[in-house]
Amino acid sequence: MIKEIATKAFGDQKPGTSGLRKKVGVFQQPHYVENFIQAIFDSLEGFAGATFVIGGDGRYFNREAIQTAIRIAAANGVGRVIVGQGGILSTPAASNLIRKYKTFGGIIFSASHNPGGPHGDFGVKYNIGNGGPAPEGVTDVIHAKTQSIALYRIADTADIDLDSIGTVAVEGMTVEIVDPVADYRLLMETLFDFDRLRALFASGFRMRFDAMHAVTGPYAKAILEGALGAPAGTVVNGTPLPDFGGHHPDPNLVHAKELYDLMMSPDAPDFGAASDGDGDRNLIIGRGIFVTPSDSLAALAANATLAPGYASGLAGIARSMPTSAAADRVADKLGIGRYETPTGWKFFGNLLDAGLATICGEESAGTGSNHVREKDGLWAVLLWLNILAVRRDSVLAIMQDHWRTYGRNFYARHDYEEIDADAARGLMQHLRDQLPNLPGRRLRNARVASADDFAYDDPVDRSRSTGQGIRILFEDGSRIVFRLSGTGTAGATLRLYIERYEPDTARHGMATGDALADLILIAGDLSELAARTGRDAPSVIT
C-alpha cells in the first residue's frame, strides 16, 4: 500500500558540493530522510518506470536509510532499483553501475571521509545519469523542494533482505540486490593489465592496503588478494564497520599513521596505499616516501599510457584550483589540454563528458579518469601498480625521475578545522580587501605576480563559478591559496595551500617544511591567521 504522509519542511536541508551532510542524529529525526529523498524525486521529470542505483558506504544508519529510499522510490513510480548487497556500494562503483546499466540516476548514502558511528556523520547525494554528482542546477532545485514540501509518498511494506543476492518486488517495483564488486572488477580488468599485475605479485612484490574498515575492503580483497594473487593479509582493516572501527576513515598521514610508520620502517613492503569511507580517495606511500596527492596525479598522468586503458594517450588533464600545478607541467610537455577547476568532482564531469580531459585529480586525495564520473581510490592504486609492474622501479625512483623531468612542486595543505565560522569569513574578507594591492609587492624574498578570488568559466556549459578561493601567485611559480571547505559538519574548516616550484634538481631532496617555510610565514602575516582564528597551528598537515 502507498501512503502519503503529511510533513513539514526543514530549514537546513541544503546539499553542498558533496551532497547533504549532517550528524547522524539529524538524519534520525522523524521525516528528515523521507523529506530529502522525496525532494529528489519531486525535482526530477520523466523517471516513471525508470531504474535507479541505491547504495552506501556501510556507515551507521546506512541500512535504515536505504530501506527508506527503496520504499519512497516504489511509491513514486520507479520501475527498478539496483542495490548493493548489504547496502554496500563504493561511490565509484555506484557511478559505474549508473553508467553501465544506463540508469536514470542514483542515490548514494555516505559522508565520504568523515567519521561514522551513532555520534558521527551521515550524508546523502544524488548522482545523475552520467554517473556523476548532480550539478548545482539540480541541487538548487532539490533544496527548493525541501523548503516547500508538505507530504511524501512511501510504500507501507516490511524491510527487504539486503544481504541475499536476487530480486524482490516492492509495490510493483523490482529491487535487484547485486554483488557490489563484480561489475567494478570487470571494469578494472578493461583498464589494467591483470596478467602483468599477477606476475608482479608472483615475483615477491609486497604491499599493504589499509581499507580503514570502510567500503573498499571487499573490493580490495576481491581484486588484490583474489584476482591478482596478492598474499592473504595484504588488505588490512578490510571489513566495513558502521563506526569504521572507531577510527576516522580519511586516508591522510594523521589517520593512516600506522601505515605511514610501516612504510618508513626497515621492514616496509614495496608499496602502501589506503582509501577512505566511501572509496573515492586514496593515499599512496612507497618505501620511504609519501607521495602527495598532487604529485600522484602528475605521476599517474605522465605514466598512464603504460596501462592498456590509456595506451592511446590522454585528451587532457584537469585539476582543482588548490591542487598543485605539477600536473600542468605534464600536460604542457605532452602537448595536451590542461584545466583548472573549482573544487568538486562535478566540474570535471563536463570536461570528461566532452572528451576534453581523461585524468582528473584533487589535492584532497581524489584521483580518477573518464572510466566513471567520480574520483576512484582503488583505481588510482591499480594504476600505480600497473606502472610499477611495467617500469620495475620503486615508487621513490619513479618520483625522483619525475622531478628531474618536470621539476618539483613542494606542496602542503594546512587544515584549521572547526574554527569559528564568523572568524573564518572575516579572514577571507580581509584577504579579499588586500587583493588589488598585492601584485608587484615583494613579500619576504618573493614577488607577487597576481592575486585574485578564483572564478571559473566552464568551457562546456558556459556557466561561471565565482568566489572559489583566494589565490596569491608569485613570479617564481610558487602559490599560496586560502579556501573555506564545506565538507565538515561542525564550525568552519579553513584550508591553506602552500606550493613552491623548484626546477633545480640539486634542491629536490630538501625537506618540504624547509622549502615552504617562507611562504607559510607570508600566509600567516597576510591573513592574520593566528589572531583571527585563535590557532597557532593547523589541525592537520597533509
Quote the Cα angle for 336-339-341, to 5°: 165
Contact 209, 380 (CB under 8 A): no
Contact 419, 535 (CB under 8 A): yes
Contact 55, 83 (CB under 8 A): yes
- What's the rounded Cα separation, in Å, for the pair 70 and 52? 10
SS3 of 224, please?
A: helix
- What's the rounded Cα separation, in Å, for the pair 435 and 485? 21
- What's the rounded Cα separation, in Å, for the pair 64 and 223? 29
- What's the rounded Cα separation, in Å, for the pair 281 and 433? 35
Measured in whole angstroms, the distance separating CA 365 from the mean position of its chain's CA atoms is 7
Helices (H), 320-392: 326-334, 345-353, 377-391
Nearest to 363 by CA among 332, 408, 318, 395: 318
Contact 413, 363 (CB under 8 A): yes
Q: What is the 3-state secondary structure (H, E, C) of 419-430?
A: ECHHHHHHHHHH
Interacting residues of 503 by C-beta distance below 8 A, sequence separation 6+: 407
SS3 of 30, please?
A: coil
SS3 of 521, please?
A: helix
- One-letter amino acid at 406 equals Y
- What's the rounded Cα separation, in Å, for the pair 135 and 129? 11
Interacting residues of 409 by C-beta distance below 8 A, sequence separation 6+: 294, 295, 298, 324, 325, 326, 329, 499, 500, 501, 502
- One-letter amino acid at 164 equals S
Neighbours of 243 (CB within 10 A): 16
SS3 of 332, please?
A: helix
Catalytic residues: 112
SS3 of 529, please?
A: helix
